[in-house]
Amino acid sequence: MSGRAPTDRYRDLVNGRIGGKLSKQLGLPRPARLRRHQAGQPLTDGPVLVGQAGAGKLADHVRSLASIELAADSDGRLGGLVLDATGVDALDDLDAVREFLHVGLRRLGSSARVLVLGRPASPSGTVEAAAARQALDGVVRSVAKELRGGATANLVLVDENADPADTESTVNFVLSARSAYVDGQVITVGPSGSAGSRNPAGPAQQGRVVVVTGAARGIGAGIAEVFARDGATVVCLDVPAQGEALTATANRIGGLAVQLDITAPDAPKRLVEHLKSRHGGLDVIVHNAGITRDKLLVNMDAARWDAVLAVNLRAQLALNDALLADGGPLRSGGRIVSVASTSGIAGNRGQTNYAASKAGVIGLVRALAPTLEPRGITANAVAPGFIETEMTAKMPLGTREAGRRINSLQQGGLPVDVAETIAWLAEPGSGGVTGQVVRVCGQSILGA
Ligand SMILES: NC(=O)c1ccc[n+]([C@@H]2O[C@H](COP(=O)([O-])OP(=O)(O)OC[C@H]3O[C@@H](n4cnc5c(N)ncnc54)[C@H](O)[C@@H]3O)[C@@H](O)[C@H]2O)c1
């Protein structure tokens, strides 16, 4: 993966023999080595036990997925648990949730996956049904905090109108090593609404044109690499000052380098022209470029404020307008994914400008998503927590160590973790996931 991701020496230490014993005796955090995607690996590290609470309708569909190795209902280490709780509509149904997880959790191996499928609250349902459905949220978020060894737990709420096939890309992502740093999240899947949007047999992004802004380094370079791995033609975009690093990224992945400052008034026009003349259109735009200019608000001058809002928010609005305009290059079935931040959810001292821009991005995708449904285009945001990049490597030791450990996985994520999450949202089969904010933060206590 790109860039020099700083090493987490503490994690390496506690995964050694002596460090492991010592940290256990002293009750210190023991971050595990997370299982991450490798070509040809099975979906989970061990078979998956599929269960049901209430009269759910998805368990059989999950059992039928070719990607999942099913576990026998007996002893043995498990790679994951899937609980179909879409039938939970009464408080008594929760007994079966407790029972299944109580027994199953003991059998989980390291980096295992717990996936609970529920239903979103329905305005026409009873108050008890709403309470029972919401209870799953508390169960899953707590289980995520109890798990160790790199295991994660997530809740996927499946809309009544969604076809079981609409859930496949999300079930596969959540169970796989690609979701290594996605933990304690609640993701809603609705009907995809567009025929023929399911996963093709080939690589997930085969034949698609993807633009990644801020692709010269860090998370952006990681995003470009994952899309190229998955078969896309990647247009890597960054400021001219980063020209050399941008060319290096583009060459490494066999993509194209476009030097463009996204805040320039003619940037949308130039990007549209490039996409139309060179690629005939666009399938995915990843708004990743971002900057920080930190100061307490009492010391924040207009220049710092304006610069951050311009790159992180205004430029996204302007680019989206041009890409989505009548005759614009973003094709039907297209994907817009914006990189927000947990700072935009929880706020952060010294970052009013940055948090405003990132919260603004969340507002942007939520408002945009419903307007794009008729065109089969989705708009989502990912909110990274602490990611190991050159930026976080420059933090003072104490702040960095605290940032790394205050999440359920007790470590920072990697650029590839953000990239994999974006790639899942951009998959042709993820048409039912829109207007959402998925945190890639190891279930950070910030903004939980
Ligand atoms: N690193 C983290 O822990 C973290 C956490 C949460 C969110 N994020 C977000 O993730 C994204 C990537 O962060 P990173 O850590 O890789 O940062 P980075 O500074 O390493 O990379 C950002 C890239 O964006 C480019 N860029 C900046 N202004 C631009 C402009 N006007 N036009 C075109 N390109 C421009 C930069 O040149 C750079 O290559 C940002 O949006 C950031 O806010 C990062």
Give the tens place of pLDDT for each residue, 109-166: 999 999 999 999 998 899 999 999 999 999 999 999 999 999 999 999 999 999 999 9
* DSSP code, position 115: E
| Atom number, ligand 1, closest to the C-alpha of residue 312 | 41
Contact 305, 354 (CB under 8 A): no
Q: Is 312 a residue whose pLDDT tops 90?
A: yes
Nearest-CA residue for atom 20 of ligand 1: 218
pLDDT digits (tens, 9 = 90+) for 268-288: 999 999 999 999 999 999 999
Beta bridge partners of 258: 237
Antiparallel, parallel or unpaired: β 152-158 and 186-189: parallel
CA 387 to ligand 1 centroid distance, Å: 11
Whether 214 lines ligand 1, by a CB cut-off of 6 Å, is yes
pLDDT digits (tens, 9 = 90+) for 357-369: 999 999 999 999 9
Whether 54 lines ligand 1, by a CB cut-off of 6 Å, is no
Whether 238 lines ligand 1, by a CB cut-off of 6 Å, is yes
Of 391, 395, 417, 441, the one to substitute when testing ligand 1's pocket (max ligand atoms within 8 A of C-beta) is 391
Nearest-CA residue for atom 2 of ligand 1: 387
**CATH number given to 31-189:** 3.40.50.720
Nearest-CA residue for atom 41 of ligand 1: 290
Q: Is 333 a residue whose pLDDT tops 80?
A: yes
Give the residue numbers annotated as catalytic, written as ranges: 354
Whether 3 lines ligand 1, by a CB cut-off of 6 Å, is no
Q: Which pair of tokens denotes residue 47?
A: 């078979």
Q: Strand locations in 292-358, DSSP E?
A: 330-339
Kindly state which CATH superfamily the domain 198-440 is placed in.
Answer: NAD(P)-binding Rossmann-like Domain (3.40.50.720)
**Among the ranges given (119-123, 260-264, 382-386, 426-430), the one the predictor scored with the smallest mean pLDDT:** 119-123
Contact 73, 100 (CB under 8 A): no
pLDDT band per the 50, 70, 90 thresholds, residue 251: very high
Higher pLDDT, 106 or 76: 106
pLDDT digits (tens, 9 = 90+) for 192-217: 976 444 455 678 999 999 999 999 99
Whether 413 lines ligand 1, by a CB cut-off of 6 Å, is no
At 9 the pLDDT is 81
Domain 31-189 and domain 198-440, same fold? Reply is yes
Give me the phi and psi of 22, to 5 degrees please: -65, -45
| Atom number, ligand 1, closest to the C-alpha of residue 219 | 16
At 198 the pLDDT is 46
| Atom number, ligand 1, closest to the C-alpha of residue 216 | 39
The dihedral through the CA atoms of 314, 316, 322, 325 has a sign that is negative
Q: What residues does each domain of the chain span?
A: 31-189, 198-440
